[in-house]
Amino acid sequence: MFRILLLTICLLFGATLFAQKTDTAYTAEITRHRDHYKLEFVIETRSPLSDQDTALLDFFIADPAWRVAARFERTPDTQPFDMPAYSGRSAKYQQYGTLFFEKAGKTFSLQVYQNIRLLTSQKYFDYLFLPFKDNTNDDTTYGGGRYLDLRVGDIGSDNILHLDFNKAYNPWCAYSDGFNCPIPPATNHLDLAVIAGEKNFRGEKKH
């Protein structure tokens, strides 16, 4: 009996150590991702933020529970449409597919899009755009919603894509006027508080 108890304790301890190592590695991955995200503001000539401004970017603590497995369904033969932006302008997009995932005991869906103009780009031809809103908007996160960047290659042969909300980021309109930031379509409004990714900017918005 004692040996069985001891073995159980050892197995539980080992599982705890493995989970801690996994979480540590994941946190380091998200930290690198966010460092690169900040660097892009510095090197991009049209950036709304300076090097000093990036210190005012704020994020939820990285949480691997917000990296969810989503089932992808392709939506072929969709027609291009005008996705409006907060500036009053619009750009041509087409729906590429739909992602289904489970959270808090419910199933949610999000549509992913292709920017028509980028389809001819050697660098971004496989780029997928996922704009969304959720119940944290106008509270802890930007009221205009947030974005996720994906690639066609992120979709596995089993049609599973790991959707990482820890990488959700603000549109540039969160920091400054003068940018054409797509408005997340109503189909991508989640009745869910996504407590992951980028929070509200802690600096003043530029006008």
Q: Burial of 134 by CB count in 10 Å (0-12 exposed, 13-18 middle, 19+ buried)?
A: buried
174 vs 73: CA distance, rounded Å: 31
Q: φ, ψ for residue 126 (rounded to 5)?
A: -105, 15
The rounded Cα 193 to chain-centroid distance in angstroms is 14
Task: Give the other-Cβ count within 10 Å of 30's Cβ.
Answer: 21
Contact 147, 168 (CB under 8 A): yes
- With vertex at residue 78, the alpha carbon angle to CA 76 and CA 84, rounded to the nearest 5 degrees, is 140
Task: Give the other-Cβ count within 10 Å of 171's Cβ.
Answer: 20
> Any idea where the domains of the chain sit in the sequence?
57-188
Is 33 in a helix, a strand, or coil? helix
pLDDT (tens, 9 = 90+) of the chain, 207 residues, equals 545 544 444 444 444 444 445 689 999 999 999 999 999 999 999 999 999 999 999 999 999 999 999 999 999 989 999 999 999 999 999 999 999 999 999 999 999 999 999 999 999 999 999 999 999 999 999 999 999 999 999 999 999 999 999 999 999 999 999 999 999 999 999 999 999 999 999 999 998
Residue 197 — left, alpha, or beta (φ > 0 → left; ψ -120 to 50 → alpha)?
left
DSSP secondary structure letter of residue 83: E
- DSSP line for 115-153: EGGGGG-TTTTTEEEEEEB-TTBTTTB-TT-EEEEEEGG
